[in-house]
Each structure stands twice: as C-alpha cells, then as structure tokens.
Structure 1
Amino acid sequence: MEVLGGSRPLQQLADWLDPPSYERLQLRANLVRTLNRAAGASGRPDQLLHRNVSVRTVRTCRINAHVYEASAVTCENHRARAVALRLERRRGHWKVTALEIG
C-alpha cells in the first residue's frame, strides 16, 4: 500500500515479489499516480488514493511448509480494501507469487 500511496519506491520490494507480481504492482502504481495527479490538479486532494492506510485485520493459512496464503483488510479515509497474497519459499527466500489488491 505504501508503493501505491507513493511513500515507498517499488524497487524496494523487488526482492520480495516474483516478476509477474512486480509488473502488476508497477502497473497499478502508475495508474494510481496518474489518478492522484488528476485529483490534485482538480483541487480535490480528498480524492487522493492510498493515503493514510491502516491495516485492520490479517489472516494467514499454511498450505505447506513452503507456501502460505494471506489476506488483509486495509482502510483509508472511509474505504476498506481487501488484499490477498501467496508467499512461497524459493531458494531459502520468501517471495510473493500472487498479489491481489481490491
């Protein structure tokens, strides 16, 4: 969510995301940045997306010793969003192999 809000560069997550997840998050971040520019230019800063996000709940599910799935609910302003991800242990490191942000 920090990447989408513009407070963290996507490159900081490169080691944690597999290439398809990285590309999808990059596309989404570019879209959010474009929409935020438009909202700022229209004088509606209250319309900025992904600012002041808080995590409400997190749930995890162990699939096996090398795979976990997680879901979270995040809130910003008056909107809640669902986040789902799959983590897989590869070569001794955890990688996000699936990422969905509602």
Structure 2
Amino acid sequence: MSVATASRPPIRQGAQRASASSGTRRGADTDIRLVARSIAQAALEVLAGTRPLVQLSRSLDPECYLALQHRAALTRKHAARSKGSPQPHLSPMVRSVRACSISESICEASIVVAEEGRCRAVAMRLERTDGVWQVTALEIG
C-alpha cells in the first residue's frame, strides 16, 4: 500500500541558510547596502562637482571628509586647467553593492559605479555609533 504525498521540490542549501539566519540580520544587511549605495553615489557626485560636500558631513568621519574635500579640490583645479568646454557631468549610476559584516557594528562594502565613459570601484568601511552608520575608510578608484 502506498500513500500519495504532494511532491515538493528539494530545498536548496542556500535557501536553508537564508531561512536559518535571523530576520534582523538580513534586514541589517539590506540597510547597510542602501547606506553604502547612497554614500558612494553622493561621494562621486561631490567629485563631479554636482553635489556640495557638506551634505556628507554626517556620513563621513573627519579624516574621510578632509580626504574627499582635498580630492574634490584637486579635481576642480585639474578641470579648470584643461582646455576646451567643460562637459556637463551625468549622475553616476550604482551597478552593484556588496556588503560584508565584520561585527555587529562594523561592515565593509564594495560598490561598482558606472559613469559616462567608465566604471569605478568604491570601497568603504562603515561603523555604527549611536545607531548611525558612518564611513571610517573610503577608497574611490
């Protein structure tokens, strides 16, 4: 005698891991990717001259803020020296974001951003203090 049961597709190993992780952890990972995405796009807009740097003052620690300010000034100086009419900058488009949790309050993210003629890589380390994510290391390729 056989008992008929509904056939279920086998559960993939990745699906088991996703369901085994806590919902808050997955939510935090999504949150950090969104934060990293917006900060990376804003930083590249600062370098392009289409966004004021002061808008990132709360998202960057003082060392990263000064480094981005210096690089933006150098970019403007170089653009002023180059001959020809300046082309309007198009807004950079974030293609992908990958985040890796180091601990509960530290994450690292890598972002690929497409600009008009090239793609760029952005790497950042984010640390949560008082419930707010702040960039403590920023590298823009």
TM range, smaller chain:
0.7 to 0.9
- The CA deviation at 1:36 is 1.7
Deviation digits for residues 3-50 of structure 1 (CA, Å, limit 9, x no counterpart): 1111111111111100110011001110111122223xx11535x7xx
Match of 2:116 in 1: 77
- What do you get for the CA RMSD once the two structures are aligned? 1.5
Greater strand content: 1
| Distance (Å, rounded) in 1 between the aligned partners of 2:48 and 2:75 | 8
**Aligned counterpart in structure 2 of residue 36 of structure 1, from 79, 85, 94:** 79
Q: Which amino acid aligns with 1:65?
A: E
- The CA deviation at 1:100 is 0.2
Identity, % of aligned positions: 52
**Aligned counterpart in structure 2 of residue 89 of structure 1, from 128, 132, 136:** 128
Q: Which has the larger radius of gyration?
A: 2
TM-score w.r.t. structure 2 length?
A: 0.64
| Distance (Å, rounded) in 2 between the aligned partners of 1:60 and 1:29 | 26
| Distance (Å, rounded) in 2 between the aligned partners of 1:76 and 1:5 | 10
Q: Which amino acid aligns with 1:8?
A: R
DSSP 3-state at the match of 1:43: coil
| Distance (Å, rounded) in 2 between the aligned partners of 1:63 and 1:99 | 16
| Distance (Å, rounded) in 2 between the aligned partners of 1:3 and 1:45 | 16
Deviation digits for residues 30-82 of structure 1 (CA, Å, limit 9, x no counterpart): 0111122223xx11535x7xx32211111111111111111111121221111
Instruction: Give ranges in structure 1 of 5+ residues lacking alignment.
Output: none
Greater helix content: 2
How many residues align structurally?
97
